Chain A
Amino acid sequence: MSILINSETTFIVQGITGREAVNLTRENLDYGAKIVGGVTPGRAGRDVYGVQVYDCVRDITAKTRVDGSVVCVPPRFTRDAVFEALENGIKLIVVVTERIPRKQVAQMVELANLRGARIIGPNCLGIISPGEAKMGGVGGPAANTKTAYTKGSIGIMSRSGGMTTEIASTLTAAGMGQSTAVSIGGDAIIGTSYAELMPLFEADPQTQAIAIYSEPGGRMEAELAEWTQENNSRLPIVAFMAGRFMDEMPGMRFGHAGTIVEGKADTTAEKIKRMTEAGIAVAERISDIPKMLQERIGEAK
């Protein structure tokens, strides 16, 4: 098992004829993804690496089962593209696009909640269940993806797309495979937070422990700390906290759009404190993660 996607997952790519989307389509197909169509208005009838292009999402949903969509369109068209996917019944939407104002993100998320759908992102590289499928740019070309990611029992959640792969690669080198890795996005408002993914990992028999990449800004780590305490989670969690230097630089934005220290709760010191109190181990270095996970998996057994 894995979470969110597996080898049977079918999805479409919205904005499929764009430069980045073409690469992403190639990489996903090479990794074994079942891409059942693409959408770019006005480009119906073309194909991208054998994937048929349509004008509307409904042209695809009318004839085949579509589990998900990767939205890879410019920021000013993203909300409409997500609405189109949602109103055509698609339940898992990965939003790759960055620089979307948060009001529009909130609108997408609100409609997704009403429709019983899930959004991953925006400003993310998507999802990979190693050995099964990937949905989004995570890991890059299939050959590179296979070097970094291997099938196994560690779930990864990361606010950084690049660091998702760095952590996977570090785990793979230590002989620890991954169940599913999710690049959740770097914005202030995102479709699915750590705490919202936890019940899925909790219910997945393949997953034995969780590795997290975290950074300053927002309340997502506090939310995760509360969730693990309230739900007495079976899964040991090791979190890496980047951007510790930012505690001394309030009001400056580094890294992702959501990464800024505006109040005490945004600082890494405060986040580390909250997570530690909740029993989440915080790693000083990425290279410490495998050993810390092994120790905690050992204890949990």
Chain B
Amino acid sequence: MRFYEYESKALFARHGLPLGHSGVADSAVHAREIAHQIGRPVVLKSQVLSGGRMKAGAVKFADTPDEAAQIYDEIFPIIVGGQKARSILVEEKSPIAQEYYVGVTWDGRRKLPVLIFSDMGGIDIEDAAEQHPDHVSKTHFSTILPVSPRIAKEAISATGVTGGALNKLTPIVSKLIDIFLEYDLTLAEINPLVRLEDGRFVVLDGHVDMEAEARDQHKKLLDELGIGPEETRQARPPTDFEIRGAEVDASDHRGVAGNVVEFDGDLGLIIGAGGGSLTLFDAVRSHGGKPANYCEIGGNPSVNKTCELTKLVLSKPGVEKIAVMMNVVSNTRVDIVARGVIKGCIEAGKDPSETIAIFRIPGAWEEEGFKILAKHKVDYCDRSVSMYDAAGRAVAKMKSA
């Protein structure tokens, strides 16, 4: 879950990282006020959950408070990476002598956190690593030993930085490691961290991602930063359909009917589980089908939960048919899912035999399930029909309908 720059900086400030004077403006008048308080030239930066702000023209400088107000109006409407600005950060403009990059993230292969440091900050770190490997260091560190400043020192020194700069950078970088571990972050990045002409070191831009699984654990921090539980911070904001999908999942603790994602096609999908849904969604598309939604059912959802999910999918305009498919199931009962989708069709005022294009869930309690499906004249198949072919049968019905 990505933090806005101003939230990242608020987190950094709590831990004493050096930051320039700034304020978050939500109007041109407010931007003018903040610039006036700072009393120096400022930079205005659009607050979006996306990179590429500079390229999009959403970061600009202002010499006077009036100019700041004018620039606020100019950059606020700019869409960056599909995202609208939430607010504009107004920050003192600093004369820079040198830029550095500091990032902490996870290395899934080594299964350890890694500190990435470069004395060529401000640029894309992957490009820098490729073109100037001597200037980018990667230092893995333990998650069970206490954090020690020598990790930061070694990482910085490996890029050739020495003298006063090394000693001033070390505690800043070490603190970023502390923050990364303390808040279960998946990324803590300062780019750039700068040495100003007057010799001070300041964090100019910061980017923090928190692991979604750890949100509950850090509820206090999130509350204080004003990040509510409704903010999913996915690549795009959830649609009404997706919000209703999450409500269906939360309405009953038995089983999962999760990760409902809206698409613009006409074939409704009741699919599962995690890997099965990915496989089936691909299969529908490769047959030329157009899914109306993605979802993941599993963990033996109750009849009611599957019923509500079915009704939700069928409520989407243009959706007349659904395909109900999973990989061979072990923990989910075929008969319970069958009952759920049939009930959902009936409650939505539709005929299950017309509406369910295919039912392909083999596995636990399949005989009972198939009996129910046969009784309602629903087209079903067992494991002898592959996931791919089952998806093909559903798509063929859409085409002939």
Q: What is the interface of chain A, defined by CB distance below 8 A to chain B?
A: 23, 75, 99-103, 105-107, 109-111, 125, 137-141, 144-145, 148, 158-163, 165-166, 169-170, 173, 186, 188-189, 193, 213, 215, 218-220, 223, 240, 242-246, 249-259, 263, 284-287
A101-B184, A140-B330, A242-B282 as given contacts; A110 in contact with B112, CB under 8 Å? yes
Residues from chain B with Cβ under 8 Å of A110 in the complex: 111-112, 142-144
Task: Beyond the given A137-B330, A243-B278, please list 12 additional residue pairs across the A-B interface where CB-CB is below 8 A.
Answer: A99-B213, A102-B211, A103-B184, A103-B211, A160-B273, A162-B272, A165-B363, A189-B106, A245-B281, A252-B236, A255-B259, A255-B278
Contact with A along B169-203 (1 / 0, CB 8 A): 00000000000010010100000000000000000
- Contact across chains for B279 and A163 when beta carbons are under 8 A apart: yes
Residues from chain A with Cβ under 8 Å of B327 in the complex: 160, 162-163, 165-166
- Contact across chains for B298 and A162 when beta carbons are under 8 A apart: yes
Contact with A along B368-401 (1 / 0, CB 8 A): 0000000000000001101111000000000000
Closest residue of chain A to B280 (Cβ to Cβ) is A242
A106-B111, A162-B328 as given contacts; A252 in contact with B234, CB under 8 Å? yes
Residues from chain A with Cβ under 8 Å of B225 in the complex: none
Contact with A along B205-247 (1 / 0, CB 8 A): 0000001111001000000000000000011100000000000
CB contact list, B97-139 vs A, under 8 A:
106, 108-109, 111-113, 126
CA distance in complex: A213, B277 (Å): 13
- Contact across chains for B298 and A166 when beta carbons are under 8 A apart: no
Residues from chain B with Cβ under 8 Å of A250 in the complex: 235
Q: Which of B109, B186, B211, B328 contacts A165 (CB 8 A)?
A: B328
Residues from chain B with Cβ under 8 Å of A254 in the complex: 259, 261, 277-278, 294, 296
Residues from chain B with Cβ under 8 Å of A166 in the complex: 276, 279, 327-328, 387
CA distance in complex: A138, B109 (Å): 25
Q: What distance in Å separates the Cβ of B257 from its nearest Cβ neighbour in chain A? A: 15
Q: Which of B259, B277, B286, B386 contacts A286 (CB 8 A)?
A: B386
Q: How large is the interface on B (under 10, 10 to 19, 20 to 34, 35 or more residues)?
A: 35 or more
Whether B331 is near chain A, meaning CB under 8 Å from some CB there, is yes
- Contact across chains for B383 and A162 when beta carbons are under 8 A apart: no
Q: Can you pick out 15 interface pairs between chain A and chain B where the beta carbons lie within 8 Å of each other?
A: A101-B213, A103-B184, A103-B214, A106-B113, A110-B142, A139-B330, A158-B275, A162-B328, A166-B387, A242-B275, A242-B278, A243-B279, A253-B212, A253-B234, A286-B279
Closest residue of chain B to A114 (Cβ to Cβ) is B144
Closest residue of chain B to A217 (Cβ to Cβ) is B108
Q: What distance in Å separates the Cβ of B232 from its nearest Cβ neighbour in chain A? A: 10
- Contact across chains for B234 and A163 when beta carbons are under 8 A apart: no
- Contact across chains for A102 and B275 when beta carbons are under 8 A apart: no
- Contact across chains for B111 and A109 when beta carbons are under 8 A apart: yes
- Contact across chains for A162 and B106 when beta carbons are under 8 A apart: no
Q: What distance in Å separates the Cβ of B279 from its nearest Cβ neighbour in chain A? A: 4
Whether B149 is near chain A, meaning CB under 8 Å from some CB there, is no
Whether B274 is near chain A, meaning CB under 8 Å from some CB there, is yes
- Contact across chains for B387 and A286 when beta carbons are under 8 A apart: yes
A254-B277, A255-B274 as given contacts; A102 in contact with B186, CB under 8 Å? yes
- Contact across chains for A220 and B111 when beta carbons are under 8 A apart: no
User: Sorted from nearest, which 8 A-B pairs have the closest CB atoms?
Assistant: A160-B275, A140-B330, A251-B235, A166-B327, A243-B278, A287-B386, A242-B278, A163-B275
Whether B329 is near chain A, meaning CB under 8 Å from some CB there, is yes
Q: Which of B181, B276, B363 contacts A103 (CB 8 A)?
A: B181
- Contact across chains for A162 and B296 when beta carbons are under 8 A apart: no
CA distance in complex: A298, B318 (Å): 50
Closest residue of chain B to A148 (Cβ to Cβ) is B328
Q: Which of B261, B278, B286, B298 contacts A215 (CB 8 A)?
A: B278
A215-B278, A242-B278, A254-B261 as given contacts; A188 in contact with B328, CB under 8 Å? no
Q: Which of B144, B184, B234, B330 contacts A141 (CB 8 A)?
A: B330
Residues from chain B with Cβ under 8 Å of A284 in the complex: 286
- Contact across chains for B278 and A188 when beta carbons are under 8 A apart: no
A140-B331, A166-B387, A286-B387 as given contacts; A213 in contact with B111, CB under 8 Å? no
- Contact across chains for A138 and B330 when beta carbons are under 8 A apart: yes
Closest residue of chain A to B366 (Cβ to Cβ) is A144
A162-B275, A173-B384, A255-B278 as given contacts; A107 in contact with B143, CB under 8 Å? yes
- Contact across chains for B142 and A259 when beta carbons are under 8 A apart: no
CA distance in complex: A35, B264 (Å): 50
Residues from chain B with Cβ under 8 Å of A111 in the complex: 144
Q: What distance in Å separates the Cβ of B295 from its nearest Cβ neighbour in chain A? A: 10
Whether B285 is near chain A, meaning CB under 8 Å from some CB there, is yes
- Contact across chains for A255 and B363 when beta carbons are under 8 A apart: no
Q: Which of A100, A186, A242 contacts B213 (CB 8 A)?
A: A100
Q: Which of B108, B214, B217, B387 contacts A188 (CB 8 A)?
A: B108
Q: What distance in Å separates the Cβ of B328 from its nearest Cβ neighbour in chain A? A: 5
Residues from chain B with Cβ under 8 Å of A255 in the complex: 259, 274-275, 277-278, 296
A137-B331, A141-B364 as given contacts; A101 in contact with B211, CB under 8 Å? yes
- Contact across chains for A162 and B217 when beta carbons are under 8 A apart: no
Residues from chain A with Cβ under 8 Å of B213 in the complex: 75, 99-102, 257
CA distance in complex: A23, B332 (Å): 12
A106-B113, A249-B235 as given contacts; A256 in contact with B275, CB under 8 Å? yes
CA distance in complex: A253, B209 (Å): 14
CA distance in complex: A254, B364 (Å): 25
Residues from chain A with Cβ under 8 Å of B59 in the complex: none
Whether B323 is near chain A, meaning CB under 8 Å from some CB there, is no
- Contact across chains for B386 and A285 when beta carbons are under 8 A apart: yes
- Contact across chains for A188 and B106 when beta carbons are under 8 A apart: yes
Residues from chain A with Cβ under 8 Å of B388 in the complex: 285-287
- Contact across chains for A103 and B143 when beta carbons are under 8 A apart: yes
Whether B324 is near chain A, meaning CB under 8 Å from some CB there, is no
Residues from chain A with Cβ under 8 Å of B111 in the complex: 105-106, 109-110, 189
- Contact across chains for B211 and A162 when beta carbons are under 8 A apart: no
- Contact across chains for A144 and B330 when beta carbons are under 8 A apart: yes
Residues from chain B with Cβ under 8 Å of A99 in the complex: 213
Residues from chain B with Cβ under 8 Å of A101 in the complex: 184, 211, 213-214, 217
CA distance in complex: A242, B303 (Å): 28
- Contact across chains for B109 and A220 when beta carbons are under 8 A apart: yes
Closest residue of chain A to B50 (Cβ to Cβ) is A251
